[in-house]
Amino acid sequence: MINNKITQFIREEVLELNAYHVPNANNLIKLDNMENPYGWEESIIEEWLEKIRDVQLNRYPDPEAKALQARLREVMKIPERAGLILGNGSDELIQMICMSLAKPGSAVLSVNPSFVMYKMLAKFTGMAFHSVDLNDDFSLPIEALLSRIEEIQPAVVYLAYPNNPTGNLFDEEDICQVIEASPGLVVIDEAYYAFAGNSFAKYLDRYNNMMVMRTVSKMGLAGLRLGYMMGDPEWINQFNKVRMPFNINTLTQVSADFALEHVDMLDLQTEQICRDREALFEKMSKIDEIQCYPSKANFILFKVKDAAKVYQSLQENGVLIRNLSSNGGSLTDCLRVTVGAEYENDAFIKALQESL
Ligand SMILES: *Cc1c(COP(=O)(O)O)cnc(C)c1O
C-alpha cells in the first residue's frame, strides 16, 4: 500500500534521492572506500585502552573539544590566527557550511566529477547546485569556471585537492584565481592531504574567503568520524552557531588526541601507502587493456572496456572496489581502487588480469 503521508510531507529533494549505498564487504578484500589498511601495534593498543579506561560515558563531551583542538593545532601546524572548527567527519562540516549559507536562491558550485556530498548537501539544504565539467585530463577548465562564478555568484565553491574520484591535484595558480574571483567562500577539501605533498594552508594568511578542510578518515582513523576546518575566525564563528553542541563524542575526542600524539606511526603508514600507490600504478600501467590516471591520493582511477563485467569478476575473485560508471560522462567505464596493503594490491592485480 502506498503511504500518501510520505509523498505529501517528505520534501521533493528527499523523495528523489537514492540512499547512499554501501555494499556488503563480507570476506572480501576491501579496496572500495579509501581506508588505511593498517592497524596499530599491540603496545599502542594497550596504551590507548588505558586512556579510554578513564572516560566518563555518563557525562556529556567537552562541547569545544579543547584538548583535541590544541593537539590538532600543534600536530597539523595550524596558524595561530586561523580559526578551527571540528565536525563529525568532514561531511558534517560541509553540512554546517551549507546550512549557514542556504539563503533562498543561493548556489553551490563545484566541478564534475568530484565528491558527491557537495551536491547532496546542497540539495538537503535547499541550495541550487551547479558544476562545471573538468577537462579530459581532469584539470580545471579555468575559463569556464571563472565565467560560471561570474554568472551564478555562488555562496560557496568546493574544490577537492586532490580531487576524488580522479586523484589529481588541480593547478595551484588556477585555484588561486578561483578564490580571487569568488564573491563568497571557497572550500579547499584536503581529505587526501596526507598523501598529496601539498596544501593550501599556506594561503590562510592571504585569503579570508578560503577554508581548508581536512579529515582524519583517510589517514587511518575513519572509524572515529573527525573532520576539521581552518580559516578566517569570523566565518568559523558563524559556522559554530549551527554546529550541534556535542558533535564530537568523548571516545572520539580522547582517541583522536591519543592517535595524533602518535602521529609518527600514522605518518609511517601514509608513507608506505604512497610507495605502494606508485608500485600499484606501475603494475596497472603495464596492463594494455586499461587506462589508469596518476594519483596524489590513496586510490587510483582507471578505465576499462566494460566496467560492470570487470567489477563483477573482481568481486567473484574476492576483491571489492568501486564502480563509478553509473555517474556517466568522463567516468563511463571507470573504476576506482583504494591502495591497500601489499598482499591486497597483489590480489587485486591478479584478479584484475583474470577479469580482462
Ligand atoms: C572521504 C572524503 C570526505 C569525507 O570524509 P569524512 O571525514 O570521512 O566525512 C570529504 N571529502 C572528500 C573529497 C572525500 O573523499
Asked if 48 contacts 255 with a C-beta cutoff of 8 angstroms, the reply is: yes
pLDDT in tens, 301-328: 999 999 999 999 999 999 999 999 999 9
Instruction: Clarify whether residues 94 and 192 are in a common domain.
Output: yes
Nine cell digits for residue 298? 590513496
Residue 4 alpha carbon to ligand 1 centre in Å: 36
- Distance CA(166)–CA(159), nearest Å, equals 12
End-to-end CA distance of the chain: 45
With 90 as the cut, is the pLDDT of residue 14 above it? no
The answer to whether position 148 is within a domain reads yes
Residue 91 alpha carbon to ligand 1 centre in Å: 6
Say which residues have a Cβ less than 8 Å from residue 262's Cβ, sequence separation at least 6.
44
Assessment of whether the complete model's pTM goes beyond 0.85: yes
The answer to whether position 50 is within a domain reads no
pLDDT in tens, 201-210: 999 999 999 9
- Give the DSSP H/E element, type plus range, for residue 85: strand 83-87
Average pLDDT over residues 103-123: 96
Instruction: Clarify whether residues 199 and 84 are in a common domain.
Output: yes
The answer to whether position 47 is within a domain reads no
Residue 190 alpha carbon to ligand 1 centre in Å: 9
Nearest to residue 321, comparing CAs of 288, 270, 284?
A: 284
Q: How many helices (H) and strands (E) does the chain have?
A: 14, 13
Find the CATH number of the domain harbouring 256. 3.40.640.10
Nearest to residue 338, comparing CAs of 354, 355, 324?
A: 324
Asked if 57 contacts 250 with a C-beta cutoff of 8 angstroms, the reply is: yes
Local confidence band at 243 (pLDDT 50, 70, 90 cut-offs): very high
pLDDT mean across residues, the chain = 96
The answer to whether position 51 is within a domain reads no
Rounded to the nearest 5 degrees, what angle is found at the Cα of 354, between the Cα atoms of 348 and 356? 105
164 within ligand 1 shell (Cβ under 6 A): yes
Instruction: Clarify whether residues 13 and 64 are in a common domain.
Output: no
Ligand 1, atom nearest to 222 Cα: 8
Instruction: Clarify whether residues 92 and 180 are in a common domain.
Output: yes
Residue 94 alpha carbon to ligand 1 centre in Å: 10
The answer to whether position 288 is within a domain reads yes
161 within ligand 1 shell (Cβ under 6 A): no
Residue nearest to atom 1 of ligand 1 (CA): 191
- Distance CA(97)–CA(185), nearest Å, equals 9
- Among 196, 228, 261, which residue terminates a domain? 261
Cα separations in angstroms, 352 against 23, 185, 334, 356: 19, 42, 13, 7
pLDDT in tens, 88-111: 999 999 999 999 999 999 999 999
- Among 220, 246, 261, which residue terminates a domain? 261
State how many domains the chain has: 2
Instruction: Clarify whether residues 180 and 36 are in a common domain.
Output: no
Beta bridge partners of 299: 338
115 within ligand 1 shell (Cβ under 6 A): yes
Find the CATH number of the domain harbouring 321. 3.90.1150.10
Residues 138-165 as b or e (16 or more Cβ within 10 Å = b)? bebbbeebbebbeeeebbbbbbbbbbbb
With 70 as the cut, is the pLDDT of residue 1 above it? no
Residue nearest to atom 15 of ligand 1 (CA): 164
